[in-house]
A and B are shown apart, each in its own frame.
Chain A
Amino acid sequence: MNPLFEVIRDPDRCIKCRVCERQCANEVHKYDPDLDKMISDPMTCVDCQRCVCLCPTHALKIRPNENQFRENANWSHQTMDEIYKQADSGGVLLSAMGNPKDYPVYWDKILLNASQVTNPPIDPLREPMETKTFLGKKSQKITYDENGKAHYEKTPYLELDVPIMFSAMSFGSISKNAHESLARAATELGTYYNTGEGGLHEDFYKYGKNTICQVASGRFGVFKGYLDAGAAIEIKMGQGAKPGIGGHLPGMKINDEISKTRMIPKGTDAISPAPHHDIYSIEDLRQLVFSLKEATNWEKPVIVKIAAVHNVAAIASGVARSGADIIAIDGFRGGTGAAPTRIRDNVGIPIELALASVDARLRDEGIRNDVSVVVGGSCRSAADVVKAIALGADAVYIATAALLALGCHLCRSCNTGKCNWGIATQRADLVKRLNPEIGYQRLVNLVTAWDHEIKEIMGGMGINSIEALRGNRLMLRGVGLTQKELDILGIQHAGE
């Protein structure tokens, strides 16, 4: 096997401070006292950039290994490498984070509108710009009594100050400090973070007001107190990175705290089955939705999260009729702590198309008001958020972007448990590298920045409230898309 990367050290800049050595959990760098210099072994380097970022003299860079197998358009270097790996191990290949393959990114083929002459852009510095968003069933029932007093039905809802939430990442797949960062950021931002399927650490019950408690097929850490703790409950039916596949947290990551939080013995593997074994049909889902509502006194909205698969519109329609208040759809580019590589890279559909068809379908059926639609996997910027909302989403879920804000450099080796940024690891010395004080502030900064950008874009469109953007597909135009793609997206081509 060849190293994937080369470690390039500029000896004129290196002062041998050894911070690279101290900070690399993969033990790439080493100080050699005999040579009085830093040496490196690139074999274990994952290009996480921790050393590069911390090097005080910018003496380091990590590059792809220039060593190449003989060029072959069909048998790429990576394909061959994977063959060797499997021939070595006989195992399923595992990967982390989202689908890295070169499938079309529809966000990048959609352009936004702005006002000119006939209607004025609105200056967000001068006028109120509103991004508050409600998620949940929107009952239109209203009556007035003889005194003119309105009587209306109130259904459980989530109230977001920004149309962005942090999507599910379990305690176990990410560290306690990462969770704390998310929880505190959600609280400060007036939005929500999601526990993922790993339960809720006892220290974080205090952030319950801004917590979505997930119930997944493994039911880890689920009990009455957990359901009561959050603002909403999410039933995870699927995940964009690995539709149709369960989860597996290796026993070595199940330390005392995770064991307690997940309510499983220390050191045992935490296996989430592919299906919920009590949900083999839409009726079963309905039962679970109502059971959870009953368990929480009908006070909390229930989210059903599904992966974007081929017939997502029909599935969403079924979910909408199952009593769920919110549907979360996760696109095939969504992240994961670990997934079988073949699944991650080949299963599911783009979130843009899934969203467009779900929104259209729910409107056609006249039930769009019965559910809110949240999309994730992957929204990378404020522009993606604006496009998602204009296509019809009520809000978006972000996770990979949030991890990047926390320091992740997408080295995609979460599954090793040696995250040098203290995010996807449970090793105490690594976990402490993510100071939630910094982490939460960076998340707040990120979402605040996006919120500013969303407002700026809205203002340009002459819109000063996010609800006027929702489903406003006239604000979108496609470029370089086929008529079929335009039809599915429900938008016109640029120039039309």
Chain B
Amino acid sequence: MLQREGATRIPSGCAISGFINRSGRRTNGSVIVNSIACMHERSNGLGGGYAGYGIYPEYKDQYALHVFYDSSEARIKAEAFLDRHFDVVNLSRIPVRKNPRITDEPLIWRYFVNPLPTKLQDSQLDERTFVAKCVIRINDQIDGAYVFSSGKNMGVFKAVGYPEDVGDFYRLEEYDGWAWTVHGRYPTNTPGWWGGAHPFSLLDYTIVHNGEISSYDANRRFIEMFGYKCNLLTDTEVITYIIDYLHRRLEMPLEDVAKVIASPFWSELESGKFSPEDTEKYRHFRNVFSSLLVTGPFSIILGFNNGLMALNDRLKLRSMVAAEKGDTVYMSSEECSIRTMCPDVDKIWSPRGGEPIIVTLDKDAGDTRSPRFTQSGAGRVATEVNHGERV
């Protein structure tokens, strides 16, 4: 019998794509759908999904929870839980369009919620941690319920099927966002579970990922010491938790997060290419965060509350191309998909392995989030643009 995500570990190949407009100008979801459609061969119809940022301006202060339910019973249980912990400002089914290639759909609901102040206080947690814990609890403990999106002013849309069909199914042309990412999946086997499609998200972190990391169990067993439960047994899940741990909980800047996940080689550290201070810091990271080093092939696009980060494994074992046009930065598995979104980019390059591309909203962009998460040096492509040799 085939086992679903979480019961067994399933390797997969993928296509990813994404873009961000630094000025906060919002773009219609159809653009990102087209970008993945041209990489049809990189998916096999067993999973596709999107993350859009800035899509819920009217509810930008509420956590937007997207939930799959296998049954009404599951929904009743989950809503009871939500009611106990949150003030639900709005709830509805997510509007979808019938598509012949999207089948076996679960119940798909959306809630805009605020944590109940009393509960939050009782928990002695900060608000985001509270929300994250609740999400993990629902997913872990309520059978048949799965929260697949939980950030503010952003949302994840995913399903079993080819990604372009998923976009059609969720009517993404009706959403506008300042950043979009997409994932088309090519798992080696799975009955296809909607929750197992990507992006994987926690709060406003979303990850689309192409690769199969060989450090998985080392990473998993380490990160689980900090209260995470890797239920899905997927790389994306564990990478998300690592980023959540380092970026949200330890408050490390994404540049440093990248240096943990895809740390410089010892030969690089000894080469003098970094300043003595950075060399010392990265050595320290390699010591204390050694179990968070991710090896094996991966290319990821991380979405967060005010930006995107693209990162390759340090050997660049997976393809990843980036491009820039005006104030928009594109990242994708293949150049063709970038050309679909923007045929005449100003520049296009292949980032080196382990060197992150971090793009955040400009300070004066219309839709910035809480100042705490604003990146220093925001608004610029953080990494020197260089033309890596491996494409």
Contact = CB atoms under 8 A, between A and B. Distances in A.
A368 B288 CA distance: 11
A467 B211 contact: no
A127 B315 contact: yes
A369 interface: yes
A130 B263 CA distance: 11
Nearest to A157: B287
Given A119-B11, A128-B266, A471-B217, A134 B295 contact: no
B214 A130 contact: no
A366 B226 CA distance: 7
B212 A119 contact: yes
B287 A461 contact: no
Interface string B200-225: 00000000000111111111011011
B183 interface: no
B218 A119 contact: no
A132 B314 CA distance: 17
A472 B250 contact: no
Contacts of B296: 115, 119, 462-463, 468
Contacts of B265: 128, 130
A165 interface: no
A461 B214 contact: yes
B162 to A, nearest CB: 20
A489 to B, nearest CB: 13
Contacts of B295: 462-465, 468
Contacts of B218: 467-472
B215 A472 contact: yes
Nearest to B211: A119
A154 interface: yes
Contacts of B281: 150, 152
Nearest to A136: B287
Interface stretch (B75-83, B85-93, B251-259): B251-259
A120 B295 CA distance: 11
B294 A468 contact: yes
A144 interface: yes
B103 interface: no
Interface string B262-289: 0101110000000001000100101111
A470 B290 contact: yes
A419 interface: no
B214 A467 contact: no
A144 B253 contact: yes
B293 A115 contact: no
B376 interface: yes
A363 B297 contact: no
Contacts of B376: 148
B12 interface: yes
Interface in A347-392: 363, 366, 368-369, 392
A474 interface: yes
Contact of B9 (A120, A392, A461, A474): A474
Interface residues of B, number: 46
Interface string A104-145: 000000000001001110100001101010101011101110
B290 A134 contact: yes
A29 interface: no
Contacts of B225: 363, 366, 368-369
A148 B253 contact: yes
A276 interface: no
How many chain A residues sit at the interface, stated as a range, is 35 or more
A229 interface: no
Given A463-B295, A467-B293, A140 B250 contact: yes
A184 interface: no
Nearest to A133: B290
Contacts of A463: 214-215, 295-296
A7 to B, nearest CB: 52
A152 B260 CA distance: 14
Nearest to B265: A128
Interface string A277-295: 0000000000000000000
B106 interface: no
Contacts of A127: 315
Contacts of B134: none
B288 A138 contact: yes
A142 B297 contact: no
Contacts of A461: 214
Given A138-B290, A469-B218, A471-B217, A122 B11 contact: no
A128 B293 contact: no
Contacts of A472: 214-218, 221
Given A134-B286, A157-B287, A464-B295, A144 B212 contact: no
15 contacts: A127-B315, A136-B287, A138-B288, A368-B222, A462-B212, A462-B296, A462-B297, A463-B295, A464-B314, A467-B286, A468-B219, A468-B296, A470-B290, A473-B221, A475-B214
Interface of A: 115, 118-120, 122, 127-128, 130, 132, 134, 136, 138-140, 142-144, 148-150, 152, 154, 157, 363, 366, 368-369, 392, 461-465, 467-475
Given A143-B251, A157-B287, A462-B296, 16 more contacts: A119-B11, A134-B290, A139-B288, A140-B288, A140-B289, A148-B376, A149-B277, A150-B252, A368-B225, A462-B297, A463-B215, A463-B295, A468-B214, A468-B218, A470-B218, A470-B290
| 5 tightest Cβ-Cβ pairs between the two chains A and B | A468-B215, A467-B290, A462-B214, A474-B217, A119-B212
